Amino acid sequence: MLPLKRRTQFTPPPTALEAQLVPVISTMAGSLAVLAPTIATEPLMPPFGLMVFLGWRLLRGNIWPLWMGLPLGLWDDLFSGQPIGTAMCGWTAIMLVLDNLDRRTPFRDHRQDWVLAGLLMGGYLLFALVIARITGGNTSPLAIVPQVLLSALLFPLVARLCAALDRWRSPR
């Protein structure tokens, strides 16, 4: 799966800075996935930055403050091709929705997180499509259906990746 060495009792524990940097750097790396050379006539590539962001947020509810969607969303906006502010606004709104849901339902299982992530990614992609249409894009809303489905189907793999990184960054 991941070529990460498991931490043992003899390896020094990560510092607080290292423990905080792993989620941020992995989310930033997920946003860079759009730089992979792909050829498509319709939007098909899932928003990996958002998927990693959701994976960390649903795995560890208190890992980031509410404003963390702003800088990570800006990073995603710089590489995704969306107008600046789309991911900043969308990711911050997602953080607010998740914070509100955490207050109301403190216990969720993996299936509920999967459905929640699928709905949030679908809502974000629809929001990004509306913003793109306002700024001059001309894409049908039906064109993002495969992208939403692929994003929802790939989310459990991204969540497992976040869990593996979490086990590596915080030994027990």
Which tens digit of pLDDT belongs to each residue from 63-78? Answer: 889 999 999 999 999 9
pLDDT at 8 (0 to 100): 64
Exposure string for 39-65, b = 16+ CB within 10 A, e = fewer: eeeebeebbbbbbbbbbbbbbeeebbe
pLDDT score at 68: 94
Collect the ranges in the chain with pLDDT lower than 50.
1-2
Q: What pTM value is reported for the model?
A: 0.89
pLDDT recorded at residue 1: 44
Picking from 27, 110, 14, 10, the residue whose alpha carbon sits closest to that of residue 64 is: 27
Q: HEC states along 17-49?
A: HHHHHHHHHHHHHHHHHHHCCCCCCCCCCCCHH
